[in-house]
Structure 1
Amino acid sequence: MTSLRALSKEKLTDLQSALWNEYRQEQAKGLHLNMSRGKPAPDQLDLSMDLLRLPDSCILEDGTDARNYGILQGIPECRKLFGNLLGIPADQIIMGGNASLNLMFDTMAFLFLFGTGGNRPWADYRTVGRTVRFLCPVPGYDRHFRICEKLGIEMIPVRLLEDGPDMNQVKELVKNDEQIKGIWCVPLHSNPQGVCYSDAVVEELASMETAADDFRIFWDNAYGIHHIYEEVPLKDILTACEKAGHPNRCYYFFSTSKITFPGAGVSLIAASPDNIKELLGHMSAQTISHDKLNQLRHVQFFGTPEKILIHMQKLADLLRPKFDIVLQKLEEGIGQDSSIASWSRPKGGYFISLNVSDGCAKRTVELAGQAGVTLTAAGASYPYGKDPDDSNIRIAPSYPSEEELAQAMDILILCIKIAYLEKLLGNQPK
């Protein structure tokens, strides 16, 4: 495919006119296609319907009735199941409700209210006119950024490279600024790029020098077993932190939101024994326990880590054709002309990261919306919703049917080209 940059202005104008005619034909179809969030499709959810027929018995192995009060840390059977799956000791796990996001927010709020390890509460910084700061690898997860915004945390973007955050940048920042209290990490199949952290990056995060004694890694391993094309190993961050002499540095989060039911799954936080004790002390004033019956349902439904992985293979088989459609459509519609767009080719996870030409993302999303394709807002993958290049768009292939996804991608590619031609010809709408 000839690069559009090589065409004369006359040919570009003719092409723009032809694309607009095609665009109006798509608009006339009145489509309503939504790729704005990574929601499991109905056929994915159908794989877990037997959860609704459980539990067979409400009595735990130690004779406790799961229908009653108690067991703040979560039932032992559930902690053991997911501990064996993730390679984490069961006594270093707290089971939560359906959303790990809830655990992340609460953990951050606890740090603001109470501090950790004898250090001052993070909220105290406000009383002396200072701000807590957090490192945010970009592109990243918009809901992480929303937590920071809600709590008044200043976000500092850091580059996300092919093997994880730019550790030269990270290490330089954290060793000199005591107000930098942590970093967000999605270490496997990151949202949205699909980046997988290397062993070297995990070791550097665990061992690096930080000005803040209470520096914390928020390790959101949301896609830790969501392998679609290739299984990717991940070094154990909790063990790495312990070996590096920083056993309390990391909070590890996981959930079944995209494994069973997003609205009725289970979540967990894992951490050092000291951190677990501290967290349980705070939680004891907040709740008696999370939903133990749902924890028991998940235990009885899966039984073993091996059966969880078999379930994940079934989910991957449903997702893989959709990722194939997106990647094939991009290849056929744009090809190797990286001046128009480039994209990630993830090995798993839930998203594909699309980079259009600088200054064209918002316009592309606007055009797609007006043609019936709803996308995640441009800039959502950056703190404060501000993509400095206005180039990144997150594609979420999971929810639409394969037919709908193919239609949506045709429209998206059309909009990418129109926005790019407007840039080349200097006739972008003001």
Structure 2
Amino acid sequence: MTRIADLSNAELHALRSQARAEYDAFRGRGLRLDMTRGKPAPDQLDLATEMLTLPGNRDYFAEAGDDARNYGVLQGLPEARALFAPMLGAPAEQIFVADNSSLAVMHDCIVWALLKGVPGGTAAWGNAPGDNAPGDNAAPAFICPVPGYDRHFALCEEYGIHMLPVALTGHGPDMDAVEALAADPSVRAMWCVPKYSNPTGESYSDDTIRRLAAMRTGAADFRLFWDNAYAVHHLTGQRREITPILDACAAAGNPDRAFVFGSTSKITLAGAGLAFFASSPTNLAWFMARAFKRTIGSDKLNQLRHVRFLRDPDGLMRHMDRHRALLAPKFKAVEAALDQRLAGTGAANWARPDGGYFISLDAVPGTAKTVVALARDAGLALTAAGSTWPFGHDPHDSNLRLAPTFPSLADVTIASEGIALCILLAAIEQQTAARRGTG
């Protein structure tokens, strides 16, 4: 299709009339479809239904003889840590198994850092004076690759942490920009979703990971908040692997630089899974000393349940192949609708992820909010425009995060057609307004 910007006025008017008529017809169908959050669909949760019968009557003893019904084993069952060690890229002895939410573990790490500091630092992060802007006497700041995960940004916003956006390149963050920002001593950490990133789907290159591990930082206690949420969430038969960050940091002489997080939220049961913290022995000791004050121990019955169900790392990957069989057609349906309606128009560019839970789309700058409003009026709920940026403010008003996982394939197919139509209409309307303004 010809680019919208290259159409004559008569051609643009005709296309606008056609798109408006199609949009009105779509809106007239009275649909109510939700593409807002990257939740597992019911049939994905059904894959783990067998877990509800585990660990079984009187079969609640761990391999070392610990009674999983009782207190103790703060770090987590050894067999559970061994099961997920390859996924986390960490030795089992450097892993802590928490309850269901990795976001809660990230929250705790931030709060503990603010109140108590982290190994290698001379003061708690929250003790630094300042006006919430970067500089020697500023409040702590996080580097935030964008587009990124809204809940990461919400944690920073909740605790007054300054956020410094850095563009993603397709192979991870712009490392020249990251290295320049990290030289500031007030910059204490960086958010990273290194594999099948939320929402772009990109994975960090080996070079990016090595530079993150080795870069000079102004803060001696700088930390990478390494949220490897999609470590095993492949959408193709080619399972992408990335350099384990703990190995890279150790090799670079910065063994304490990374806090690694993960969970089974999109593997087994989203609200009843396991979360993980992995790091250096020094950081793990710091974490466990704080956790010891917070809890008597996590749910070991659930840890045992996961071990009995998944059995070993190969069993975990077989289980994820079953997820892939359900999810891949939904992502293909979105791509097909976007290709059919938008290819060649200049109305949008979009990712074609080979893993993860989202599709990142950049509409014409200045139209993302319009697309979301058009979709809402047509019965399609989308994630709010701007949510992939700190404070919900996308300076380009262009990025949209599409979440095709939760609806059925039939609903995803219908919704994708409507979304593509809304994107096209918003681009046409902007071009029409621009020509009127210069005519």
What interval of TM-score do these two structures reach, taking the shorter chain for normalisation? over 0.9
Contact between 2:349 and 2:361, CA under 8 Å: does it hold in 1? yes
In structure 2, C-alpha distance between the alignment counterparts of 1:275 and 1:314, rounded to whole Å = 35
| Cα RMSD (Å) | 1.4
Displacement of 1:310: 0.4
Contact between 2:142 and 2:187, CA under 8 Å: does it hold in 1? yes
Q: Can you list the C-alpha shifts for 1:315-363, whole angstroms capped at 9, x where unaligned? A: 11111111111111111111123x2111011111111111110100000
Q: 1:11-90 residue pairs with structure 2 within 5 A?
A: 11-56=11-56, 57-90=59-92
In structure 2, C-alpha distance between the alignment counterparts of 1:174 and 1:249, rounded to whole Å = 13
Check if 1:405 corresponds to 2:412: yes
Displacement of 1:227: 1.0
Residue 154 of structure 2 aligns to a residue whose secondary structure is helix
Match of 2:127 in 1: 124
Q: 1:4-403 residue pairs with structure 2 within 5 A?
A: 4-56=4-56, 57-117=59-119, 118-126=121-129, 130-175=138-183, 177-229=184-236, 230-337=238-345, 339-403=346-410
In structure 2, C-alpha distance between the alignment counterparts of 1:42 and 1:21, rounded to whole Å = 35
Change (3 A) 1:340 1:127: closer
Displacement of 1:410: 1.1
In structure 1, C-alpha distance between the alignment counterparts of 2:280 and 2:156, rounded to whole Å = 23
Contact between 2:130 and 2:139, CA under 8 Å: does it hold in 1? no
Match of 2:134 in 1: none
- After alignment, is 132-141 or 78-87 more displaced? 78-87
In structure 1, C-alpha distance between the alignment counterparts of 2:255 and 2:424, rounded to whole Å = 50
Q: Can you list the C-alpha shifts for 1:31-85, whole angstroms capped at 9, x where unaligned? A: 1100101111111111000010000311112221110111111111111111144
Residue 320 of structure 2 aligns to a residue whose secondary structure is helix
In structure 1, C-alpha distance between the alignment counterparts of 2:126 and 2:292, rounded to whole Å = 21
Count matched residues.
Answer: 426
Structure 2 segments unaligned to the other structure (5+ residues): 132-136
* Structure 1 outlier segments of 4+, above 4 Å: none
- After alignment, is 61-70 or 180-189 more displaced? 61-70
In structure 2, C-alpha distance between the alignment counterparts of 1:92 and 1:11, rounded to whole Å = 63
Check if 1:3 corresponds to 2:3: yes
Q: Can you list the C-alpha shifts for 1:3-47, whole angstroms capped at 9, x where unaligned? A: 222222233223222322222222221111001011111111110
Displacement of 1:427: 7.6
Structure 1 segments unaligned to the other structure (5+ residues): none
Q: Which amino acid aligns with 2:50?
A: D
In structure 1, C-alpha distance between the alignment counterparts of 2:428 and 2:409, rounded to whole Å = 29
In structure 2, C-alpha distance between the alignment counterparts of 1:372 and 1:345, rounded to whole Å = 25
Q: Which amino acid aligns with 1:132?
A: P
Give the TM-score normalised by structure 2.
Answer: 0.95
Percent identity, aligned pairs only?
46
Q: Can you list the C-alpha shifts for 1:86-124, whole angstroms capped at 9, x where unaligned? A: 442111000011110010010111100100125200110
